[in-house]
Amino acid sequence: MAQRGAFIVFEGCDRAGKTTQCKKLVDALNRKNVPTEFMNFPDRSTAIGQIINDYLQKKIHLPDKAVHLLFSANRWELEPKLREKLESGISLVVDRYSYSGVAFSAAKKGMDLQWCWNPEIGLLEPDAVFLLNLSEEAAAMRGGFGQERYENLDFQKQVKENFMAMKSSSWKLIDADKSLEDLHLEIMELFNKVYTTSHGTPFKRFAS
Ligand code: NYM
């Protein structure tokens, strides 16, 4: 049986450069013959993902708790696919995961971190979380937000606080305020360490 792939999650506020760095990492690893695929959450291509997309684009309104559970259901519907890929030896670089789910929902009034975390319990736990951290000043230099929900400075500040509150010692806090290439090199180095240590280890799942 193939050794399982590594499961890496990129997290951070909007505009931190996650998607660009995820894709650079995937390309670089495939060039080095490390079979790797990109995935992202929310995955807007599924039926649940389409409702989330309509919500984010403000085409529909949903109560905060209901949409939170849809984001979580979107991860659960793709859990078998993630597991199968990892078991077949493919490494996954995933742009946002449960931590975004909790950090964004808990930034809303009346939404509690633990309540938000509960539906994530039992999902596969990544081998590493790379938290791309960008100062508000640097973020502001990157241009305006788009039209989607959550894309405003005050909300993003609260999201950042929530990420910091969830951050454990195994997370890699990465200063994203540097050139694309420097950031990529730092991420490659971090990935190599995680890849060596995660190989051959059993999957972990989120506990309480
Ligand atoms: N988001 C993302 C959530 O609110 N909950 C989640 O569980 C996830 C995965 O969706 N502003 C938010 C964060 C983003 C928005 O993500 C869309 P992206 O990466 O811009 O497509």
Residue among 65, 104, 150 to mutate when testing ligand 1 (max atoms within 8 A of CB): 104
Confirm whether pTM is higher than 0.95.
yes
Residue 101 CA, closest ligand 1 atom number: 7
State residue 91's pLDDT score: 97
* Spatial separation of the C-alpha atoms in residues 203 and 175, rounded to whole Å: 28
Write the CA distances from 69 to 8, 11, 115, integer angstroms: 23, 19, 11
Give every residue of the chain whose pLDDT is below 50, as ranges. Answer: none
ipTM confidence score = 0.99
DSSP state of 16: S
What are the pLDDT digits (tens) for 149-199?
Answer: 999 889 999 999 999 999 998 899 999 999 999 999 999 999 999 999 987
State residue 75's pLDDT score: 99
Residue 16: what are its φ and ψ, rounded to 5°?
Answer: -80, -10
* Spatial separation of the C-alpha atoms in residues 21 and 16, rounded to whole Å: 10
For residue 33, the CA-to-ligand 1 centroid distance in Å is 30
Residue among 40, 70, 96 to mutate when testing ligand 1 (max atoms within 8 A of CB): 96
What ranges make up the beta strands (E) of 13-137?
36-40, 91-95, 124-125, 128-133
